[in-house]
Chains A and B, each alone.
Chain A
Amino acid sequence: MSGVREKLVTIALLGTEGQPAVEVDEGGELGRRLEQVLSREDRSQEARVLDAAALVFVHHRAGRVLPTSAQTMANTGEEEENPALGEQSAAHLPRVMADFPVLFGSWLAAVAESGARVPHEYLPDLLDYLANNYKRKGNLSLDQVETVIGKRGLWLIGLNPDWSNLRAGIRGFVSLDNEEIFQVGVFAERLAFLEALRDADPERARKMLESTWSEEAVNEKVGFIKILAYNLGPLDEPFLEMALADKRREVRLVAASLLCQLPESAFSKRMKARLLEFVEFKKGIFGKKIEVNLPEGLSADLKKDGLSVRQDADLGEKAGIVMQVISFVDPQWIVEKSGFDPVTLIKLARDNEWRQALLLGFVEASIRHRHQEFLEALLVSETMLAQEAEMFEPLEPGGRERVVRAWLNERNGLLVSGPGSYSDYRRADFIEKMEHGWSREFSRSIVDCAEKHLKQEINMRYLAGPVLKAAAAFGDPSIFESIGRLVDAQAESTSFDDRYLAPAAEIIAIRKQITIKER
């Protein structure tokens, strides 16, 4: 603040009451004018202060000089290689993100395939969207992302910490030559570097992690060690054995999960031996049978291998140990060792006294080892309803379609056998998440299912909405017409709110435009 302004503010703040007349010492034109204003006999002391203030403030504003800065923005320096999407095609993006996220995958794929990139002004919204979704799902194709965001997008990701989680998967982003980033970077950068390195050179990645392991914060250890799941190999065993003794339970559990996926590891062998000790698969004269011999309790050895007293599964301590041991053994090994296929194993487990321990063990083992046949058999058997979502997730597209069709067959083509069965209703969510390109047959059966639901009572009828929406987004184009017919028929009926089905028609319209325009 300049001298005269400061002085006037101080006077105004304290008040002129009992103060001497204001005098300022200011040169030049402003000083001359101020003197005029302050010496006016016809004005009160207060009015003179206000007059002088108006003069000084306006003078200051009018003469404002901007600060200078040596700061420059690091220019991208790189020209885009790909052409920008046309205005019309780019305009799909905000709509897809805001209203039809189910279409995001196909939008991304179509644009990436066309070799075009998103116009620059759309990038911040797109990166926000990707950063939020990638955190949640991790199933985006980052190669496609890289094409679509172009050089400018990579540049922005580098600048904005909010988008740093995107740095992880994007190859163009992480330079493996710059090892220093792993020593000095923030967590997201280090994670990105480690992931990229693990991809390129698994050995070097693990050694790098080993070199800083003892210094890592507990929270970050979990994130780092999970990266070893990529390109996991026998050479990782000593490090994982060491991590098995970590102070933190989460770290121990990840280490155990990884070790059990190495068939020749000492850990795997220990678990298999325990399995054979606790569980017997018998082919007797009275039929096939599973016999469970409960262990004594949680021994130090078991604890060391990551087992604990599980409170969550509604099991006693000993049954819990059996469950956990099964969960660490590759289901394929169980199938081979027992000579029973998954369907048989599940059936025998259902009839067993220790049903919950056996089934839950199978569930966790199948998820951990992503054993497709087992996951499919468990889901079709409809025994472990609480774990369905977890099991559905690692299932591959073909298996997912077979499972859903099996469920529909059980219910005369309907998704829900009757009002009130919560787990049935939840399966509509699974269908909405089947983001692969659906087969013709599966697409057909889903449309048929929706049509059947439309003939049901209101509390079952509304399921047609989400199901058709998914069919419109991922279904085979051969069903577009049928969907259109259903939507139109609903729009004419007055008994049912047509807004429920309308999104399906809109999705088809956008999908057609995306694929036609972009390809």
Chain B
Amino acid sequence: MPQCSYSRDQVLALAPDDSSRKAGEGLSTTRKWANLASDGRSLWGECQGSGSRPYQTCIDLGEPAFKCSCPSRKFPCKHSLGLFLLFAADSSAVAEGEPPDWVVAWIGKRLDSQQKKEQKARDAADKPVNAEAQARRQAKRQANIEDGLAELDRWLCDRIRHGLARVQAESYEFWDGIAARMVDAQAPGLARMLRQCASVSSSGENWQERLLERLSLIHLAVSACGRLDRLSPAMQDEVKSVLGVTVSREEVLARARDGSEAVSDRWQVMGQFIIEQEDRLRVKRSWLYGIDSGKWALVLSFAHGTQPLDVSLVPGFSFAGELAYFPGAFPLRALVKGREPDNSPRAAKAPVVHDDSSGALAGYARALSLNPWIETYPFAVSNVVPVLDGESMAFIDRRSNLLRARISRRNQWRILSVSGGGPVDVFGEWDGDSLTPLSVTFGKSFLSLEAEDAR
């Protein structure tokens, strides 16, 4: 009999929105399905919709990936969710069977396109480049960036010469002006940091300290650019990434092919959340932890407007596969280069990364020493006791260290409830001052927290 290794919550987490979630739940009953079966790798069935022909729905359980013949623009559609939920709830309801032609065809197409993609990446890497044209383009860009940075350098020094006290009265446009100049100079990373300063200067007590910290880090990046040729290659990459010079997917994969920046491991998805940025851009941040390598990785996926977000990484699950890291002094951001076609079994227990917060803090210090621009760092501490302190929550580790958490009221009580006042394992993002918890593990259970409502 086929087994489902996904929990209901994990399947629900894949839904693009609430209404799909509800519609999917409505379809998660065998009554709605015909020819329901699975061969372990994929799961399929036919659902009678409002049209004359039933919709054919298929799920590749490995990743998971979805295919449905319905015309819905949502992804995964309610049929895929319903089918998956049904399987997650009661895998005995699904017979074992040989995939019908339409399933074989789709799975085949997926493999094909995967291979093609890899081929394309290989081709791109092998393609002879027009060295001269590329050098010209780079030189032009270089000049553009250098002009912009010189201007920013003067601007920053002016702020310090006249004093930050004057800055506080400035409007958002003041920051936006210099930020826009950085966008023109093709340094969008600095533009983003400058725009953040606008809110820092009105963020209440100690704003001046926080503002000076930001400005000094921006200035540090500007100075580093001035002597880029004297930095190590890894640091050069890091500085470029702070500036916002993007490295393409293909480039990352090509580097990974050389072997230097690729890591194969069993990756545990420790936590995840979605942030909405300007222009309706949604970014899903997934933190992975390599169980054997002890490496952290941050996988980002992006979607515009109603576009679906990638759903292949499910919190609480692990998969065996290879990650390709973006270059940098302390590589964190990565791409999933490939995963083995296993069924992503749920880990019996989340890995113990640090058993008190000093280990996690030491990791953070190491990371900062290599990359001073790190804004958030993955923090996993086992055996911490959640405590309430008025309106806020903190975690106390076994050495009585107090980790302050930023978290919504609902999640505070959910954590307290599962802990019963006892120890749990917590994972979250550390910003140097407080922790934004993204998941809590207690015994064999895993609680994924939607961090977005705390922000």
Q: State yes or no: do A and B come from one complex.
A: yes
**A→B interface (CB under 8 Å):** 1, 5, 8-9, 12-17, 44-47, 49-51, 53-54, 57-58, 61-64, 66-76, 87-88, 91, 95, 99, 119-121, 123-125, 127, 152, 155-156, 159-160, 506, 509
* Residues in B neighbouring A51, C-beta threshold 8 A: 216, 219-220, 223
- List 28 A-B pairs, Cβ < 8 Å: A12-B160, A12-B212, A13-B208, A14-B163, A14-B165, A15-B160, A17-B162, A17-B163, A45-B161, A46-B156, A47-B153, A47-B223, A53-B212, A57-B212, A64-B432, A66-B402, A67-B401, A69-B387, A69-B394, A71-B402, A73-B388, A73-B421, A119-B445, A120-B418, A155-B420, A156-B416, A506-B26, A509-B29
Which stretch, B38-46, B315-323, B360-368, touches the partner chain A?
B360-368
B77 to chain A, nearest CB (A): 18
| Most B CB within 10 A of own CB, among A13, A16, A76 | A13
**B359-405 interface (Cβ within 8 A of A):** 361, 364-365, 368-369, 372, 385-389, 394, 396, 399-403
User: CB-nearest residue of chain B relative to A492?
Assistant: B50
**B24-83 interface (Cβ within 8 A of A):** 25-26, 29, 31
- 4 further contact pairs, Cβ within 8 A, besides A62-B364, A125-B410: A62-B365, A72-B387, A87-B8, A121-B447
Q: How far is the CA of A20 from the CA of B420 in the complex (A)?
A: 58
**B401-416 interface (Cβ within 8 A of A):** 401-403, 410, 413-414, 416
* Residues in B neighbouring A74, C-beta threshold 8 A: 421
B257 to chain A, nearest CB (A): 34
- Known contacts A14-B163, A121-B417; A44/B401 CB under 8 A: no
B422 in the interface (beta carbon within 8 A): yes
B7 in the interface (beta carbon within 8 A): yes
Interchain CB contact under 8 A, B212 and A73:
no
A23 to chain B, nearest CB (A): 16
* Residues in B neighbouring A71, C-beta threshold 8 A: 387, 389, 396, 402
| A64 partner, pick from B223, B361, B413, B414, beta carbons under 8 A | B361
Interchain CB contact under 8 A, A72 and B385:
yes
Interchain CB contact under 8 A, B160 and A46:
yes
| B90 partner, pick from A12, A88, A121, beta carbons under 8 A | A88
User: CB-nearest residue of chain B relative to A160?
Assistant: B413
B187-227 CB contact bits vs A (8 Å, 1 = yes)?
A: 00000000000000000000011001101110110010000
Query: 9 tightest CB-CB pairs across the interface, nearest first?
Result: A15-B163, A124-B413, A53-B216, A46-B157, A73-B421, A54-B216, A75-B421, A62-B365, A46-B160
Interchain CB contact under 8 A, A95 and B25:
yes
Interchain CB contact under 8 A, A156 and B413:
yes
Interchain CB contact under 8 A, A57 and B420:
no
Q: How far is the CA of A1 from the CA of B205 in the complex (A)?
A: 13
Q: How far is the CA of A53 from the CA of B223 in the complex (A)?
A: 13
| B161 partner, pick from A17, A57, A123, A156, beta carbons under 8 A | A17
B339 in the interface (beta carbon within 8 A): no
Q: How far is the CA of A394 from the CA of B417 in the complex (A)?
A: 37
- Known contacts A69-B402, A91-B8; A156/B417 CB under 8 A: yes
B89 in the interface (beta carbon within 8 A): yes
B68-105 CB contact bits vs A (8 Å, 1 = yes)?
A: 00000000000000000000011000000000000000
* Residues in B neighbouring A17, C-beta threshold 8 A: 161-163
Interchain CB contact under 8 A, A76 and B420:
yes
B164 in the interface (beta carbon within 8 A): yes
Interchain CB contact under 8 A, B385 and A13:
no
* Residues in B neighbouring A87, C-beta threshold 8 A: 7-8, 89
Interchain CB contact under 8 A, A66 and B403:
yes
User: CB-nearest residue of chain A relative to B214?
Assistant: A57
Interchain CB contact under 8 A, A13 and B422:
no
Q: How far is the CA of A50 from the CA of B222 in the complex (A)?
A: 11
* Residues in A neighbouring B212, C-beta threshold 8 A: 8-9, 12, 53, 57
* Residues in A neighbouring B25, C-beta threshold 8 A: 95
* Residues in A neighbouring B161, C-beta threshold 8 A: 15-17, 45-46
| A75 partner, pick from B31, B208, B209, B422, beta carbons under 8 A | B422
Main secondary structure of the interface of A (DSSP, over half): helix
B216 to chain A, nearest CB (A): 4
B20 in the interface (beta carbon within 8 A): no
Interchain CB contact under 8 A, B8 and A88:
yes
**B→A interface (CB under 8 Å):** 7-8, 22, 25-26, 29, 31, 89-90, 153, 156-158, 160-166, 208-209, 212-213, 215-217, 219-220, 223, 357, 361, 364-365, 368-369, 372, 385-389, 394, 396, 399-403, 410, 413-414, 416-422, 432-433, 445, 447
* Residues in A neighbouring B421, C-beta threshold 8 A: 73-76, 155
User: CB-nearest residue of chain A relative to B367?
Assistant: A62
| B402 partner, pick from A67, A95, A123, A156, beta carbons under 8 A | A67
| Most B CB within 10 A of own CB, among A9, A72, A125, A160 | A9
| Most B CB within 10 A of own CB, among A15, A127, A155, A160 | A15
* Residues in A neighbouring B209, C-beta threshold 8 A: 1, 5, 9
B412 to chain A, nearest CB (A): 8
A276 to chain B, nearest CB (A): 59
Q: How far is the CA of A160 from the CA of B388 in the complex (A)?
A: 10
Interchain CB contact under 8 A, A124 and B365:
no
Interchain CB contact under 8 A, B396 and A69:
yes
* Residues in B neighbouring A124, C-beta threshold 8 A: 410, 413-414, 416-417
* Residues in B neighbouring A155, C-beta threshold 8 A: 420-421
* Residues in B neighbouring A156, C-beta threshold 8 A: 413, 416-417
B110 to chain A, nearest CB (A): 30
* Residues in B neighbouring A152, C-beta threshold 8 A: 417, 420
Interchain CB contact under 8 A, A57 and B387:
no
Q: How far is the CA of A17 from the CA of B160 in the complex (A)?
A: 8
User: CB-nearest residue of chain B relative to A125?
Assistant: B410
* Residues in B neighbouring A64, C-beta threshold 8 A: 361, 364, 432-433
Q: How far is the CA of A44 from the CA of B90 in the complex (A)?
A: 70
Interchain CB contact under 8 A, B402 and A58:
no
A366 to chain B, nearest CB (A): 43
Q: How far is the CA of A15 from the CA of B422 in the complex (A)?
A: 51
User: CB-nearest residue of chain A relative to B420?
Assistant: A76
Interchain CB contact under 8 A, B219 and A50:
yes
- Known contacts A12-B163, A75-B421, A121-B447; A53/B213 CB under 8 A: yes
A143 to chain B, nearest CB (A): 21
| Most A CB within 10 A of own CB, among B31, B157, B368 | B157
Q: How far is the CA of A204 from the CA of B410 in the complex (A)?
A: 39
Q: How far is the CA of A54 from the CA of B156 in the complex (A)?
A: 13
Interchain CB contact under 8 A, A159 and B416:
yes
B12 to chain A, nearest CB (A): 8
| B208 partner, pick from A12, A47, A57, A95, beta carbons under 8 A | A12
User: CB-nearest residue of chain A relative to B25?
Assistant: A95
B235 to chain A, nearest CB (A): 14
Interchain CB contact under 8 A, B219 and A66:
no
Q: How far is the CA of A24 from the CA of B365 in the complex (A)?
A: 24
B19 to chain A, nearest CB (A): 11
Interchain CB contact under 8 A, A72 and B396:
yes
- Known contacts A49-B160, A54-B219, A71-B396; A62/B417 CB under 8 A: no
* Residues in B neighbouring A57, C-beta threshold 8 A: 212-213, 216-217
* Residues in B neighbouring A70, C-beta threshold 8 A: 400
User: CB-nearest residue of chain B relative to A91?
Assistant: B8
User: CB-nearest residue of chain A relative to B162?
Assistant: A15
User: CB-nearest residue of chain A relative to B386?
Assistant: A73
